[in-house]
Amino acid sequence: MAQKSTHKFKAEISQLLDILVHSLYTNKEIFLRELVSNASDALEKYRFKASSADNGGDDLPAEIRISVDKDAGTLTVVDTGVGMTREEVMANIGTIAHSGTAELTRLAQEGKEPLDSLIGRFGVGFYSVYMVADEVSVTTRSMEQDAAPVRWTSDGRTDYKLQELDEDLPRGTRIEVKLKEDLKDQFTNVEHLKSVVTRHSNFVNFPIFVGDERVNTVPALWREPKFQITSEQYAEFYKFLSFDTEDPLETMHISVDAPVQFNALLFIPPKNTDFLTGMNRDNWGPDLYVRRVLIQRQNKELLPEYLSFVKGVVDVEDLPLNISRETLQDNIVMRKVSSTLTKQVLSHLEKLAKDNGDRYAEFWKEHGALFKAGYMDFIHKDRYAELVRFNSSASDDADSLSSLADYVSRVKEGQKEIYYAYGASREALSLSPHLEIFRRKGIEVLFLYEPIDEFAMDAIREFGEFKLVAAEHADPATLDEFETVEKKDDVEELSQDDASTLDKLLARIKEVLGDSVTEVKASKRLSDSPVCLSNPDGHVTSSMDKIMRAMSKDTSVPTKVLEVNPDHALVRNMIDIFKQDENDPFIEQAAQQLFESALLLEGYLTDPHALVGRIQSLLTQSSGWYVKSK
Ligand code: ADP
Ligand code: MG
């Protein structure tokens, strides 16, 4: 008899086990889905290895068998898959926690997402057996030649035992579950087990037997003719694949004969849970099959990353079965499949946008953030430009979406540009001094709330005849030619005399501010604000500038143009004061104050002390005058 050794579980696993063992979770039957899915994975691996090497070809049928012993209160799942060596057992179910284990534990404790879908998505399925088991033993023999069978046993608390066996066992794995007392009746009931298997494992690619009866019936749904498949079947398959509890938002069943032959069944999930939990950002991509044989789960060569919200299965005819995962990467067939699939997904989205705007909006709300990264896909630039959505000054609220085409349908006569501005929120943008002229002229501006939006705009550049222009880069003279819709409060024209004083005043302000600004000039774009900062010609937008500075860890304040609104009451007062005494200290104080307030608005003011001090002294003075005048 070989030695028996005892090993401690890794800490994360213990924690997870603790949650599972004590879970009051009602849908405990999903443990069977997980055991069957592992058995199916093991069979897929066996088939893959056997077809790519010469060591295949024994007579064991590839299948999964579930049996029960009512008296002993046990349930057993047997597969004829790859099996595991001693080292593999230790690595796979004991020592090494999956990367997501800690995250799963956190989410499970939060209790917002059903444990059911968490377990499936996080790849910790094996341990779910401890929701129903007092003890589990895994007896397994690897397909590797001369591999010795091993037995792993554990009550799922703190440690597990390992033992090499002298027996000569067939290839594969046998999992024996000693059921908890209160669950024995339920999970030794063959009829119940059959219904559990049909519910959760109907699409498994290998025959599943419960007792002597084969239970699952629908493998490879993607190879069936479309007209034979009901939407319920599609939804069922989606749930099987994604562990989602809801139906898919969209289903794409694709059959292509040229330039390469393949079938695909793709889905757009109703919610972007992977993205929201920040987890699984690396686990995306459809499962790749070659003529029904699973080659790789979540293959990333099949779709570009900006379509990573798409889940599903792709089954290619024209690839050799023994293709290695490494050579998939620069395989010409794969590239053709990928390019065809990408086009198909984009077409589907275009059609959806056209036929069902509400549903498209739902899609955008969930997956738009990911999709936007598609600005790097230059080949599909035009289609991308049709599919992106933004909020707009013309929308009723922050949730409404506008396409570039929508914008174009609303442009003013003679308008040749599409304008956009980046800001933290709709409120912030609605108050931005840079947009005052747009409000005055009633010209629409697309509102961008995420840094990536500006990259997208930069990449799109043109839409039909229209150039995409950042609002802060728009030429005020061009805008000024449009009719004014929102009148400024009636202001008197500056007299000849005042106009020349203004020039001197601006020069004086420049003198006060020195090198902190490149230029001080009269502004055309302002109506409500006394000043704003703008970029010297040919510069990137302020938000882009901020991103670039953040990346290069540059914390200095950029030098900009100070634009002054000659029609603002404060500026008019400054002109009067300046006329009386060019050296009045108020001019200097006001110049500093206006400049720093503008910096504050742009998010560049790092030290507010001087600004606050000045406000306080100005308030003290003005309140003094107020008291006196009473
Ligand atoms: P996942 O299936 O997502 O990898 P699990 O917790 O379900 O996570 O399983 C952990 C690992 O244990 C599997 O990746 C596999 O290597 C191994 N394993 C589990 N069940 C079997 C089995 N029946 N045959 C071979 N290996 C298995
Ligand atoms: Mg699993």
What does the pLDDT look like over 109-165, one tens digit per residue?
777 777 776 776 666 689 889 999 999 999 999 999 889 999 999 998 889 999 999
Give a yes or no: residue 491 inside a domain: no
Position 98 scores a pLDDT of 62
Position 65 scores a pLDDT of 98
**What atom of ligand 1 comes closest to residue 37's alpha carbon?**
2
227 C-alpha to ligand 2 centroid (Å): 32
Is the pLDDT assigned to residue 363 strictly greater than 60? yes
Pocket mutation for ligand 1, best pick of 92, 96, 173, 296 (most atoms within 8 Å of C-beta): 92
126 C-alpha to ligand 1 centroid (Å): 6
Query: Which of 358, 378, 405 finishes a domain?
Result: 358
d(CA 131, CA 511): 76
Question: Does ligand 1 lie within 6 Å of residue 279's CB atom?
Answer: no
Position 150 scores a pLDDT of 96
Is the pLDDT assigned to residue 76 strictly greater than 90? yes
Q: What is the mean pLDDT of residues 495-523?
A: 94
Give a yes or no: residue 398 inside a domain: yes
Whether 183 and 316 share a structural domain: no
**What atom of ligand 1 comes closest to residue 45's alpha carbon?**
25
Confidence grade of residue 71 (pLDDT, cut at 50, 70, 90):
very high
Cβ atoms of 587 and 518 closer than 8 Å = no
Protein residues placing their CB within 5 Å of the ion ligand 2: 38, 125
Largest CA distance in the chain: 109
pTM for the full model?
0.75
- The continuous run of DSSP H or E covering 134 comes out as strand 133-141
Question: Does ligand 1 lie within 6 Å of residue 125's CB atom?
Answer: yes
Q: In what order do the strands lie in the sheet with 417-422?
A: 391-392, 445-448, 417-422, 466-470, 462-463
Position 489 scores a pLDDT of 63
**Is 493 in a helix, a strand, or coil?**
coil
Question: Does ligand 1 lie within 6 Å of residue 269's CB atom?
Answer: no
Cβ atoms of 67 and 76 closer than 8 Å = yes
Give a yes or no: residue 486 inside a domain: no
Confidence grade of residue 234 (pLDDT, cut at 50, 70, 90):
very high
pLDDT digits (tens, 9 = 90+) for 533-569: 988 876 788 888 888 888 888 888 889 999 999 999 9
Whether 47 and 178 share a structural domain: yes
Residue 493 tokens read as 């024209």
For 254, phi then psi, to 5°, come to -120, 130
Range of the domain at 592: 496-629
Confidence grade of residue 95 (pLDDT, cut at 50, 70, 90):
low
Position 460 scores a pLDDT of 96
d(CA 375, CA 137): 51
Give a yes or no: residue 489 inside a domain: no
- Spatial CA neighbour of 31 closest among 217, 152, 218, 183: 183
Whether 167 and 226 share a structural domain: no
What CATH number has the domain bearing residue 576? 1.20.120.790
Query: Number of C-alpha atoms within 13 angstroms, CB side, residue 200?
Result: 23
Question: Does ligand 1 lie within 6 Å of residue 84's CB atom?
Answer: yes
Pocket mutation for ligand 1, best pick of 33, 41, 78 (most atoms within 8 Å of C-beta): 41
Whether 46 and 161 share a structural domain: yes
Whether 235 and 347 share a structural domain: yes
Give 339-404 as a DSSP string. HHHHHHHHHHHHHHHHH-HHHHHHHHHHHHHHHGGGGG-GGGHHHHHHH--BEETTSSSTT--B-H
Confidence grade of residue 488 (pLDDT, cut at 50, 70, 90):
low
Q: What is the mean pLDDT of residues 248-269?
A: 96
Query: Which of 194, 214, 234 finishes a domain?
Result: 214
Residues 6+ apart with CB under 8 A from 381: 459, 460
- In this structure, of 18-27, 346-355, 363-372, 431-440, the range with the lowest mean pLDDT score is 18-27
pLDDT digits (tens, 9 = 90+) for 439-449: 999 999 999 99
Q: What is the mean pLDDT of residues 205-210?
A: 94
37 C-alpha to ligand 2 centroid (Å): 6
Q: Report CA torsion sign: 16, 20, 25, 28.
A: positive
3-state helix, strand, coil split of the chain in percent (to 5) is 45, 20, 35
35 C-alpha to ligand 2 centroid (Å): 7
Proportion of the chain above pLDDT 70, given as a percent: 93
Proportion of the chain above pLDDT 90, given as a percent: 65
For 545, phi then psi, to 5°, come to -60, -40
Cβ atoms of 244 and 321 closer than 8 Å = no
Is the pLDDT assigned to residue 408 strictly greater than 80? yes
Is the pLDDT assigned to residue 360 strictly greater than 70? yes
* Total number of domains in the chain: 4
- Spatial CA neighbour of 363 closest among 350, 374, 373: 350
